[in-house]
Amino acid sequence: MFSIFKKEFKSYFNSPVAYVMIGLFIFISSMIFNINLTQGIAEYIFNLNYMALVLILIVPILTMKLLADERKSGTEVLLVTSPASLTSIVVGKYLAAFSVFLVMTGITFIYPIILSVLGEPSVPEVIGGYVGFILLGAAFISFGVFASSLTESQIISAIVSVVGLLMMWLLQGIAPSLGGIWSKILSWFSLYSRTEDFFAGILSLGPVVYYLSFSAVFVFLTIRVIEKRRWSKG
Amino acid sequence: MIEIQNLTKSYGQIKAVDNISFTVEKGEVLGFLGPNGAGKSTTMNIITGFIPSTEGTVKVNGFDIMENPSEVKKRIGYLPELPPLYMDMTVSEYLGFVADLKDVSRKAKKSQMADIMELVKITDVRGRLVKNLSKGYKQRVGLAQSLLGNPEVLILDEPTVGLDPKQIIEIRKLIKALGKQHTIILSSHILPEVSAICERVVIINKGKIAAIDTPDNLSKGMNTVSKLSATIAGPKGSISNAIEQIYGIKYVEPHIEKEKDVTEFIIESDKEIDIRRPLFFAMAKAGYPIIELKSLDLTLEDIFLQLTTQEKEVI
């Protein structure tokens, strides 16, 4: 698992992908921060809320190549015929993308620091907010990895994950209005609505379990997709 | 070492591999020969555990690929038809990654990589990006990858395809040398390659095994006639008539008229009879000088064509 993780993590920084993405994320998030700052909003949660939306565009770029490219370049054979298990391969890749995301998130810690110089942001809110943000990112990445396993085209993989994540964002508005069993099923996918507690500075177990199990389910589905494709290919 | 039993892979109605069984002994170099699309790559993909079989078993050193995949995969080095390379890595980064993937210990890694790079002659390109290498070098990096972890079995899918003649000779030599320490299955659609490297040949066509034997035995077994090419000066018709009179002749055919009144004949006779001497005396008596005489034994190429076209006629 570690060998895959190391290779993927390095390959992010060997290509322009990581730099462009981190740059883009920092640029957008600092714009948001700047707007909030000039409007005199001291609550950091506003920033995190918008940054979570930006993730809909950032995460697919992060994950699009992970599995799609292995298939396209024929290197999947090397991984599958090596003694490493499929689970360790997928988990290694997932953790590599997650680590890049952590690096990216780490840079944004500078905003609450600036904020604390200028005013007095609520510390539990900032900490709770970041825990929620990171868990949300973990869930997004698992979906992106899953999308990447469906196709050998990076573009299609990116489109599938952007559309999927957008749908999940829209669900928080749609799901309650449907009512009945559909509302329940669809609200399971509503990733955003579960960030509310965190952004209010409350650390409760429920949402944490939710995000972790969401990630685990999609990592598991990714493994199943690859496994299933092996049976049908020549 | 490798036991393959009743291996079948079907896609709906189509059987890419149809009930194949053979074994490979330890230290043997086995050639896997067949036209394009015969099922060579599919079989190799099954042996290495890349794709599962529909029916049948593959055992490597007693371990079943379906029940004990990691034990089998540890023992196999695989070079697929398209070498599985990461274009944006340097050669040594790539080999380092593969060594990690195959759980080569930290201690052994460095020396093993150096040895293998020396063996396949890529030491001088180790710092270059894989995407900038020529096809021949890429193929060698692919081969180096399969050797990492020191597997007992090597499975090489068309290892010389796309290389220039000099590189082909080098890679063949290398494979022959590797055969001393490894069990090798090598696929090819190039016949001289298989007869040059392999101790035993499996000819496969349309997913079925057409023949298994040593290259020598294959050519012996298939020869039911002995064939001669004779270039003789004189009128075509009367030479043919004269040859037909000789005892044991089965078939005569004027092949090419090489010069005016000098014709190459293809003569087939019973396998047991050597007709070269009677032919000489017959021609001398008739006054037609023999310019050239050579025997046309069945090459592996002829056998291959016979086996694979016979199949077509059945269908």
> Residue B52's closest chain A neighbor by CA?
A231
From B194, B151, B189, B153, select the one nearest B172 (Cα to Cα). B194
For B62, the 3-state DSSP assignment is coil
Task: Indicate the Cα dihedral angle A130, A131, A136, A140, nearest 10°.
Answer: 90
Q: Do B51 and A230 touch (CB under 8 A)?
A: yes
Burial class (CB in 10 A: 0-12, 13-18, 19+), A29: buried
B37 and B160 fall within a common domain = yes
Domain assignment of residue B150, given as a range? 2-219
Give chain A positions within 8 Å (CB) of B103: 83
B285 and B170 fall within a common domain = no
CA distance A192 to chain B (A): 37
Could you tell me the CATH number of the domain that includes residue B244?
Answer: 3.30.70.100
The pTM of this model reads 0.81
Nearest to B70 among A74, A78, A83 (CB): A83
Total number of domains constituting chain B = 2
B96 and B123 fall within a common domain = yes
Task: Indicate the Cα dihedral angle B34, B36, B42, B47, nearest 10°.
Answer: 40
CB atoms inside a 10 Å sphere around CB A7: 22
Q: Do A74 and B9 touch (CB under 8 A)?
A: no
Lookup: tokens for A92: 């290694």
B29's CB contacts (< 8 A; 6+ apart) are B175, B176, B179, B183, B184, B186, B197, B198, B199, B200
From B102, B112, B162, select the one nearest B137 (Cα to Cα). B162
- Chain B 53-92, CB below 8 Å of chain A: which residues? 70, 73-74, 76, 78, 80, 82-89
pLDDT by residue for chain B (315 residues), tens digit each? 899 999 998 888 888 888 899 999 888 999 988 887 788 889 999 999 998 988 899 999 889 988 888 889 999 999 998 999 999 899 999 999 999 999 999 889 999 999 999 988 899 999 999 999 988 899 999 999 999 999 999 999 988 887 788 888 888 888 888 888 899 999 987 777 787 888 898 988 888 888 888 877 776 665 566 778 888 988 888 888 888 888 888 888 888 887 888 888 888 887 777 788 888 888 888 888 998 888 776 666 666 776 666 544 444
CA distance B37 to chain A (A): 11
B120 and B234 fall within a common domain = no
B67 and B141 fall within a common domain = yes
Give chain A positions within 8 Å (CB) of B16: 234
Instruction: Answer whether A233 touches B (CB < 8 Å).
Output: yes
Domain boundary among B219, B251, B275: B219
- Chain A 67-106, CB below 8 Å of chain B: which residues? 73-85
Strand partners, B3: B23, B59
Q: ipTM of this complex > 0.90? A: no
B212 and B286 fall within a common domain = no
Strand partners, B59: B3, B64
Domain boundary among B198, B219, B240: B219
Instruction: Answer whether A3 touches B (CB < 8 Å).
Output: yes
Instruction: Answer whether A206 touches B (CB < 8 Å).
Output: no
Domain assignment present for residue B251? The answer is yes
B75 and B171 fall within a common domain = yes
